[in-house]
Amino acid sequence: MLTGVFYGRFSSKMQNETSIEGQRIVVANYAQMNNIKIVTEYVDRAKSGKSDKRPNFKKMIDNIKNGTLDIDVVVVYKLDRFFRNEKLHRKYEDILNEHGVNLLSATEQVNDNTNFGQKAYKALAMLVNEEEVKKISQNVSRGKLVVAKSCKWCGGKPPLGYDVDKETQMLIINKTEAKAVRFAFRMRAQGASLSAIIEQMNRRGFKTKLGNKFGKNSLHEIFKNIKYKGVYEYNRAVSKSPEGKFNRHASKSDDEIIRIKDGCPRIVSDEIWDKVNAMGKKHSNIKPKGDYLLSGLVVCKCGTSMQVNRRNNHQKEYLSFFCPKHKNKQGCNAKEIDLNKLENFVLSKLADLIFTKDRINQFTEDFLRISEKKQSTAKREIRELKSEKRANDRKIQNCVAQIEDGCLKTVADRLGDRIEELESENKRIDKKLKRLHNDVSKVPDYAEIEALKDNFIHYMQEKNNLPIRKEFLQKAIEKIKITDDEVEIVFNL
């Protein structure tokens, strides 16, 4: 008999102990059917699956690492209870595996780590979980986008030179800070170096928004901020990395960014702002090392790791992998290979390996089996919630009838409070019903899963969260060897 622990989690304060109890029951049944003895449990309440900042999760991992918890398996209701972040999921599952512990899902057919199909299924499940998080984040952000389109400030500290009007929630000029902004732009437009500008601003007693002295980073933030020429901008910064860090130099695509001309008071003229930013573009065409999907995987026929060459030809960017030994004339005659063509070829081969006829059939059966269980549970909960709501409606009608019959004022006040409580409870029920109705949606059939093959390639080539996609490929592929007449892909799966 295997020994294991149950790990449970729910993320929202709108959920409660019932959610954990449901997970616990399913895991207990799974353990009984698979001859697993659950020796203890670790539960985190109202904690996000995107982060590892969960006290009981950390305690479980630490106990496994230091040997105080000697088990064979960790069992979760679904993989997304473990993590909704692929990179962190892989990190901590690797830690479990290093200490002889396997991660099992009670509701998903992903528990045989020796089988390629199961590995592929698990990888796809983690990618789906990550996409669900993105959708949730998009829904949460929608309200802020509506506010932003009216040029109102959406929270956080405003940029240097601005305050937020308490009544209108719109940006207004802070005259003292605006002097610092204009001074910095004026010096830069006259050709002064960043070091010279920093020295002069600190000498004059100018301070950043946080009251600190100026440095190069704070100047970069000022010079690239389009608000200073009266253009309100929102939703420019990319999302946090899997480690929870921001890259404030990276931007979203233009179609995602809200920009409204004359949406906020200007501090500098268009002429000065454009001149300063044109100066910065002279040095902005250098791409970070490793900022490509296949970096670190491509190997030349001579055994040397190939690097990316980037150049512009007739205003068109050309990217290729090249062998450093050939470039440095060290005895290799390997030719460059087009980066985009190589990416498409490799991803197509990987998709062919994952989306075979047999595996698509298996995916279809797994999705159907999981969906049937999920739908059965959801339909039962829907019936119970609807019954509860009908009971609440009857109670509300009774309270209203007593008030209309002319009861004492003190009694009427209590009844009014009770009506508010019941109506609030019905709103909570409506939200839960909406979520549960989504759980009984149509199950994807063979053709729809087969179509995921094209989506898979498109997904892997998206620019957002590139580190996650790179890590997925590095798990799936050992190396890509380039010879004179062929591309050899060595898969790990």
- For 464-486, what is the mean pLDDT? 81
Reported confidence tier of residue 200, pLDDT bands at 50, 70, 90? very high
* Helix and strand totals (H; E) in the chain: 15, 14
pLDDT tens across 89-112, in order?
888 988 998 888 989 988 875 554
| Alpha-carbon span 184 to 200, nearest angstrom | 9
| Alpha-carbon span 145 to 151, nearest angstrom | 10
- The confidence score (pLDDT) of residue 39 equals 95
Q: State the chain's maximal CA–CA distance in angstroms.
A: 101
If you search the block for the tokens 């070829």, which residue do you land on? 345
| Alpha-carbon span 407 to 400, nearest angstrom | 11
Reported confidence tier of residue 222, pLDDT bands at 50, 70, 90? very high
Q: What's the DSSP call for residue 228?
A: G
**Residue 105: closest CA among 381, 369, 475:** 369
Most confident of 328-342, 353-367, 438-452: 328-342
Q: Does the pLDDT at position 166 exceed 50?
A: yes
Q: Which has more confidence, 311 or 320?
A: 320
Quote the tokens at residue 9. 């989690």
| Alpha-carbon span 149 to 74, nearest angstrom | 47
- The confidence score (pLDDT) of residue 281 equals 56
- The confidence score (pLDDT) of residue 316 equals 72
Q: What are phi and psi of 318, to 5 degrees?
A: -125, 125
- The confidence score (pLDDT) of residue 317 equals 75
Task: Delineate the domains of the chain, giving CATH numbers in brackets.
Answer: 2-137 (3.40.50.1390), 150-281 (3.90.1750.20), 357-448 (no CATH)
Q: Does the pLDDT at position 373 exceed 50?
A: yes
- Residue 398's identity, in one-letter code, is N
